[in-house]
Amino acid sequence: MKKAKTLFVICALGIFTHNQIQGQELSVVRAARVNVNQLPEYVIITSQNTKLLGGINIIIDYKKSTYKNSLRELEELLQDGDKLRVRNQTDLLNSMSKLGFEYVNAYNASAVTASAGKDDLDVIFDELDGGEGSFRINMVFRKKEKFRG
């Protein structure tokens, strides 16, 4: 009975997310609020694959940065599904290139451990994620030479 409930919830989530996911098309928008000249020379973007939601979670650490407002606006632009539609690392690389940055390097930020299976929801997330958890990747970008000051 418990497996039947779990299977039903997984199927329901699959149908719901399938209807919400749009094609992986990179829409180029004029990001008037994000100006490459107001951003630092280097930007580190943390991304985490969110298989359940069909995309990636994007995080830019802007706390206590002198570029706080610009970095926050960049994070919002990259996360906004109606603008750049960044759904995976390929989209992120292409979007950052169009915004005036080039890729430098990437490295694992930290492991996200699989849940301990304390309740049904944790078990469902583990099964959807393969029971292995996921990793956060830091991607380092640098302004293209023509934008460096």
If DSSP states are collapsed to H, E and C, what string results for 106-128? EEEEEEECCCCCCCHHHHHHHHH
pTM of whole model > 0.75? no
111 CB contacts (<8 Å, ≥6 apart)? 133, 135, 136
What pLDDT is recorded for position 85?
A: 78
Query: Which H or E run contains 102?
Result: strand 101-112
User: How far is 49 from 68, CA to CA, in rounded Å?
Assistant: 25
- Report the half-sphere exposure of 19 (CA within 13 A, side-chain side): 5
What pLDDT is recorded for position 49?
A: 76
pLDDT average, residue stretch 69-96:
90
Q: What is the pLDDT of residues 96-145, one digit of tens each?
A: 999 999 999 999 886 554 544 445 555 555 555 555 556 789 999 999 99
Which residue is listed with tokens 């830091």? 138
Q: What percentage of the chain has pLDDT greater than the value 70?
A: 58
Partnered with residue 140 across adjacent β-strands are 44, 105
Query: What does the block give as tokens for 125?
Result: 């997330």
**Alpha helix locations (H) across 21-67?**
none
